[in-house]
Every structure is written in C-alpha cells, then in structure tokens.
Amino acid sequence: MLKIKLKMAILTGFSVLTLGCSVNETVTVVVQDDGNLTQTIESNSDLLAENLMIAGTKTAFVGDLLKAQVEIKNASDELLSFQYKFKWLDKRGFEVGIGSRPWHPISITPYESKMIQGVAPNPLVNSFTVLVQD
C-alpha cells in the first residue's frame, strides 16, 4: 500500500514538473540587403537549450520568398522530443503571419542531426527565428 502511495506521489511530482515547459529562442537569422547573413544564437540554462545545438543554417530566395533550412543537433546521449516552429519577420522586425504557423513535433536520437525547413509566408520576410519548446 505504502509502495503504491509513494509511486503516486512521485508521479504527481513529475507531472507538476513537466507542466512547466518553456519556450527557448535558439537562432535568429537575418538576410541583409547585400545577401549576407547575420546569425544570432541564443541559449539559456534550460535543459533543452543545453542539449540542442544549431549545427548550421541555410537560406535562399525561391522567387521572392525566403526559404530557410536549419540543422539541429542533439548533443546529448538521450532521445530528445520537442517542438519547433519558424517565426518570420519583415525588414522592420514585425512578425509576419502571427499565429498562422503551427508547432511541429520532432524527435532526435542521441548525437543525431535533423534538418528542419520552412518557407516565408510572403515576400516581405527577410529574417526568421527558430523557436523550440519542450
């Protein structure tokens, strides 16, 4: 009986802990007028930010739409399951298509890299941020 109660207590504690998921901005890429990229990688002390690495970014214009590809690496020895989405910004820093882009679930096995890809919703976009959350 005591064993079952202890299990329930542990489970309750674990549920409370997992409720506190956080959003981390990991990389922001701006395509300058001359075509050069400015890349800013932000990390914080969250578990996900410690284990995820931005291994590389690629951008290209398809017609007049910005296409982005980001390589995310799981630097840990555990399977990481999280969600990501692209946030698209225009030249003045305004977000384009607010709320129209969904979070995507993704899992990366230990030390593996995966590519994520997105296309800007319209030609006004010249930069993007990849958001990840656990």
Partner 1 sequence: MKFIQVFIVIMAALALASCSTKISYGDATSVETTTTGFGSTDLQTIAEKLVDDLITFPPVVQMTSERRPVVFVDKIKNKTTEHIDTESITDTIQTKLLQSGKFRFVDMTTVQAVQEQMKFQMDSGMVDSNKAAAFGKQTGAEFMLYGNMSSIVKRRNDTKDVYYKFTLKLVNLESGIIEWASEKEIRKSSEKTFFLN
List interacting residues with partner 1 (CB under 8 A).
Answer: 2, 4-5, 7-9, 11-12, 62-65, 67, 83, 85, 97, 99-105, 117-119, 121-123
CB burial of residue 29 (10 Å; 0-12, 13-18, 19+): buried
Burial 73-93 (b: 16+ CB within 10 A, else e): bbebeeebebebbbbbbeeee
Strand partners of residue 41: 27
Q: How far is the CB of 98 from partner 1 (least distance, A)?
A: 10
Task: Give the nearer residue to partner 1 in terms of CB position, either 4 or 36.
Answer: 4
Tokens matching residue 70: 């980001």
Q: How far is the CB of 118 from partner 1 (least distance, A)?
A: 7
Q: How far is the CB of 26 from partner 1 (least distance, A)?
A: 18
Task: Give the nearer residue to partner 1 in terms of CB position, either 94 or 111.
Answer: 94
